[in-house]
Amino acid sequence: MTTNRSSVFAYFNVTESMQTIDRVRLEEVRSAYANIRDDELTDTQRYNAEEKIKLLTDKFPIMNDAENLALLNKCVLGQYLELACQAIFGDYVHKRTKEMRRARTNNTSTTTSTISNQTTGSPAQVSTAPNATVSLPKAFCQILLKKNPTIVFQFIQNFLLCPIHQTPTKTM
């Protein structure tokens, strides 16, 4: 009997919103881990921490690769349910950010090779090549602040969010 195993993120329904995390399932897994830990006190068989987490993947349909075992470990070791939610949500956001950066890098290299292929054609082909510039109606931007917030906020407000045809204001 084969069961479909899912990642920790899929099993707990982790998305861009922390509200979507399935806290009932998370509490079930945390409770099962507590039972394994409590049973160990009365049982003669001892498990190390990694084996306890693997026992959870046997009980629940979660993949038991290194990444998912590490995430599951974060889910059960936190003292409070909300801390566990924050931990897996943070890992999810970190993973998605890395994937987006990787995709952007791959997209940039593909665009560069396409442009170089267009410019290496005959002069007649290059002059009739379509314009690759496309105007976007909206753009979403994520800014991670690592410096003094007031200075950064002023820069964002006065320069980055300033319309293109308007001159930025100087407030330094």
The reported pLDDT for the residue numbered 45 is 63
Average pLDDT score over the chain: 77
In the chain, what percentage of residues exceed pLDDT 90? Answer: 30
Arithmetic mean of pLDDT, 36-43: 74
For residue 43, what pLDDT is reported?
61
Mean pLDDT of 18-26: 91
Q: Return the exposure string of 42-70: e unless at least 16 CB atoms fall within 10 Å of the residue's CB, then b.
A: eeeeeeeeeebbeebbeebebbeeeebbe
**Average confidence (pLDDT) over 93-99:** 90
CA distance 139 to 137: 7
Q: Residues 49-79: pLDDT tens digits?
A: 788 899 999 999 999 899 999 999 999 988 8
Q: Are 60 and 35 a contacting pair, CB within 8 Å?
A: no
pLDDT at 138 over 90: no
pLDDT for residue 90 is more than 60: yes
42 vs 30 pLDDT, higher one: 30
Q: Over the stretch 98-107, which tens digit does the pLDDT of each residue have?
A: 888 888 777 6
Looking at the predicted structure, is the pLDDT value of residue 146 above 90? no
Query: How does pLDDT run across 127-136, given as a tens digit for each residue?
Result: 444 556 666 6
- State which amino acid sits at residue 50: E
Q: Is the pLDDT of residue 115 over 80?
A: no
Query: Among 10-14, 120-124, 158-162, which stretch is predicted with the lowest mean pLDDT?
Result: 120-124
Structure tokens at 99: 């994937």
Phi, psi of 13 (to 5 degrees): 55, 50
